[in-house]
Amino acid sequence: MQIGIRLHDTLPLSLEERLKVVREQGFSCAHLALSKVIKEFPVDNSSLTPGLAMYLRKLFQKMDIDIAVLGCYLNLAHPDPIQLDKIKNTYLANIRFASILGCGVVGTETGAPNAEYKYEPACRSEEALQLFINNLRPVVAYAQTMGVILAIEPVRNHIVYDARRAKRVLEEIASPNLQIILDPVNLLGMDNYAQQTEVIEEAIDLLGEATAVIHMKDFIVRDNSLVSVAAGSGELNYKPIIQFIKARKPYIHCTLEDTIPENAVDARLYIENMMSSLK
């Protein structure tokens, strides 16, 4: 695997300085959320020009760091049609940008049917799923036209909350340019974490073929809720996901999440040691 990190989890420096630190810490790829890490100049839709994409591409290449994910984590189930139109336009702008930037995927989660982007029981309804699919369909079509992979990330509290629902999205849209960011912890909640191995194995079985990127983090149970923490500092059983990578996903981008500058290297070493020790 190629282990990376979210740039917004690194020290709050300029982008070039962040990349130097990331390379020095032994990471080979990164998750780039433009608005979270670039403060030196605007990164709204109108600023995402070919020139900026080429500038950033050369900057990452200079540091020998892949852009594993260009994050565009917006709510494609927003109930306000005006806001939804703005959100769709932002996806299109990021996809155009990605086609020149040379990143692995444009990554997104799957939203909630409210303006606050928070869990409510309606997230699990068939209506919410169809709303998301209908709004996602033209975005994927545009990604396919531009030669870009759009990858959705199932999350327990969002509309696509498990592997079976994610599989339905893949089947209904049926585009080779729609793939999966697989985050084992995001498939877990208080209702199923005790069966985590079965949950992860089901996700691998249903979504493994379409998995383009893997997120690596851990979890603990605190105050009757699941809390995400850095890899190696919680209760996650990494064995099925590491075996999956070794058997089927050579050199896949695996990006750490929920690290801080003080534990990022330890988290990377933990995953690398797991990778080398598991047969």
> Cα 230 from chain centroid?
16
**pLDDT over 90 at 56, yes or no:** yes
Q: Which domain holds residue 12?
A: 2-277
Burial (CB count within 10 angstroms: exposed 0-12, middle 13-18, buried 19+), residue 119: middle
**pLDDT over 90 at 279, yes or no:** no
Question: Domain total for the chain?
Answer: 1
pTM: 0.96
Amino acid at 264: A
Reported confidence tier of residue 178, pLDDT bands at 50, 70, 90: very high
Confidence at residue 278, expressed as pLDDT on a 0 to 100 scale: 84
Burial (CB count within 10 angstroms: exposed 0-12, middle 13-18, buried 19+), residue 247: exposed
Confidence at residue 235, expressed as pLDDT on a 0 to 100 scale: 97
What are the pLDDT digits (tens) for 180-213?
999 999 999 999 999 999 999 999 999 999 999 9
Confidence at residue 257, expressed as pLDDT on a 0 to 100 scale: 97
What are the pLDDT digits (tens) for 3-27?
999 999 999 999 999 999 999 999 9
- CATH code, domain carrying 160: 3.20.20.150
Alpha-carbon span 189 to 155, nearest angstrom: 10
